[in-house]
Amino acid sequence: MPDPTLVVVESPAKAKSIQKMLGPGYEVRASKGHVADLPEHELGVDVEADFTPHYEVKKDKQPVVQELKRAAQGRRVLIATDPDREGEAIGWHVARLLNLDPRDPMRVEFHEITPRVVQAAVQRPRPIDQNLVNAQQARRVLDRLVGYQLSPVLSMEFRRRALSAGRVQSVALRLLVEREEEIERFQPQEYWTLEGWFESEGQRFAAELHSVRGERVQGGGSFLITSQAQAQAIAEQARAVAVYQIGEVERRERRRNPPPPFTTSTLQQAASTRLGWTAGRTMRVAQRLYEGVELPEGPVGLITYMRTDSTRVSQEALAEVRRFIPERFGPGYLPEKPNQFAGKKAASAQDAHEAIRPTAVERTPEAVRRYLTEEEFRLYQLIWQRFVASQMTPAVYDQTTASVVGGEFVFRAVGSVLKFDGFLRVYGREEAEEAAGRPLEERRLPPLREKAPATLEELVPEQHFTEPPPRYTDASLVKTLEEMGIGRPSTYAPTIETLERRSYIERQGKALKPTPLGREVTHYLIRMFPDVVAYDFTAQLEARLDEIEEGKAHWPKVVREFYEPFLEDFQKVPKKLCPECGRPLELKVSRFGQFLGCTGYPECRYTERLEPRKPPEPLGEACPQCGQGQLVRRFGRYGSFISCDRYPACTYTRDEAPSTGLECPKCRAGEVVRKTSKRGRPYYRCNNPACDFLVFDPPQAEKCPLCGWNELDKGKSRACSNPACERYGGPRTQAKGRPRAEKKTSKKEAPLKASWAELEAFLPLSGLTPEQAEVARLTKGQQKAVPQAASALGRSEAETLRLFRQAMFRLRMEYGKARKAKEPVGT
């Protein structure tokens, strides 16, 4: 039997699904994402040689590449990475590292992972599309040129570690900052409305004051009635009118068309609005639905590829859904012709992706629910409903507009009643409102006759104030970026996550609010690097990348167009000078972190801390542990904490976190404090070391009506903080019945229980260098044997100890992975 064909995909989960679909004639392996990239600690781009990139295999992917090389020997190779620019570039790197010619037919694409599509795709390989690769290279090289040079400037300017800037990231942050400043500048304006209740020919209805003496009450952002005195005066005049009568009555039928199927950005917006999810969470769940779910017939991808800006749907899918709709809902819900939607791109050879849709419309959400997690079901249901609704008939409303005229006053009443639900039968009223961006009002008016007399029975003035524009949410930020042509569908989720990780923004419910650091960084970039945060400049680059993808532009030329203006700004930045020799300082990295060092090294050895250390602040309290020292407030990387001033002689420490003022509902002994994770995410826990209470949503003083624990603020809704309560809304991964200290110890000790005999079995699998493996064998996993191993190898003890630690870390990681894979589900 000939060797099976090797198929290389990106994801291990996808590899598992595709392996079962292709059968024994194929071996499917995963690259686990990018296998090669620009160097981690150097620029990696030769600017003088037409921006030639220097790629190297990523450290953590070296074992993967070796495995792929061994698996590819003597075999036909097909590359089936994701069908986008990134996937094409990953495939190109894989082909290059396997010494394959990218011009040979080896590239296959799966826009949906179903047996029919997968088996058909492997029969039609094509060469790797170099235009797609070049577009990705241009974006990667330009991002490296900007980020590699700009990020150290920010760190030096603000004396903070791990600051960064980027094309899409910095523009998105600017949007958030400018919106926040617009909110702060906003001055609310008072205005009043008057609602009248009328009776005409035995029918009672409401109408709102529309105009006075021909002047509109509201219009174009201006208001006629702006004070209570003015409202009362107009109300008295309106009540004094002797005769009112029905004016013009207009009746018409209004149709509301269904929304198009989801693109990446509209899916992120809908999931944010309907499900309260971040863009990152939406894409992670969608990835699982795309890669494959285990059903009775085997693993099947439930949705098509989820990174797309197209609303196009294949003819096969249209035919399938047009058969399904009349069978399920009746013939009245099927339009005569398929609904067509205008997308960002016309359907062309370059528009290969479809909209996000279910791979089989017959797989209703209810039919597959038991095979999905709760979040997978909720997202699949949203995608399925949107796709089916997109090919249904419009909703039809009977709309009536009537005016009531009396003297100088005109009131207007509007009624809208749903006549035929159409696509709302599937998509639902609330979802349709969000897709349309406005409410679907339904207010019934009685039958009114023109020129019939009317009586004003009641007139109610109501005060209002204009409101500032709302803060951006994941949904509105993604929508704005897409409308401005900034970034691509695949960039929105990681962009928002990066802004959170850098502490440039924070979440307040669903809203995204810039931090003081984010505002300072934005103002600095606007002042020193205006092109980096210019909306038009960034949007133009995306258009030029599309031209590269279509073969209409040479990628080094495009990089030069955008890099040279940045370089001009970069060269104007004042340099920080060494106080000893006068040469420029630069940001350097050691095993202890970032610091500032002189560019004259080794002649000048001047160094300086990047983040100036704050001196401890005395609290005037005696240490409760030793009784001899005094407590001080110290400042660490993740905030302040309390410790004894006799450290290290006394090791007493205590958390210092803002209190919520709430008693812990679990132990009743501590209080709930607000903490911040390493990634900048706030969370809330009990400050009692013996209690493991922890939630990620702000706890409230209100109590759960079922169990009495504190409620959690979930944005538009509330949930309970008690894991045993049916209304629980906290983290499901929380261990129960064990204190935090015990969990921490058990996590650290678990890998150490392995004997050397158990660890030795993983030497061939752990990707150790020959030097690391030799040290591990000589010491047999015992650190006390390092001096003898150093002597035997003729190395320094420090170097041998470093190799020992690296080897043991990798071995224990592999041992832990293997042990975890053997654990039964639910343990």
Catalytic site residues? Answer: 305
What are the C-alpha distances in Å from 394 to residues 302, 382, 634?
27, 19, 64
**Nearest 5°: CA angle at 372, between 367 and 378?**
85
For the record, the structure tokens of 20 come out as 């079962």
3-state SS assignment for residue 324: helix
What are the C-alpha distances in Å from 229 to residues 179, 189, 218, 234, 333?
34, 15, 18, 9, 53
Count other Cβ atoms within 10 Å, centred on residue 6.
Answer: 20
Find, among 157, 142, 262, the residue nearest to 544 by Cα.
142
CA gap 636, 649 in Å, rounded:
19
CA gap 498, 512 in Å, rounded:
13
For the record, the structure tokens of 756 come out as 């050397």
Print the SS3 string covering 133-187.
HHHHHHHHHHHHHHHHHHHHHHHHHHCCCCCCCCHHHHHHHHHHHHHHHHHHHCC
For the record, the structure tokens of 197 come out as 């209740």
Find, among 61, 99, 55, the residue nearest to 77 by Cα.
99
Strands 244-256 and 395-406: antiparallel
Contact 599, 577 (CB under 8 A): no
Bridge partners of 644, per DSSP, are 631
CA gap 518, 522 in Å, rounded:
6
Task: Annotate 599-645 with DSSP letters as a single string.
Answer: TTTTT---EEESSPPPPPEEEEEE-TTTSSSEEEEEEETTEEEEEET
Q: Is 140 exposed, middle or buried (0-12, 13-18, 19+ CB in 10 A)?
A: buried
Strands 26-30 and 190-200: unpaired
Find, among 313, 434, 290, the residue nearest to 376 by Cα.
290
Q: Which residue has the tokens 């702006």?
A: 226
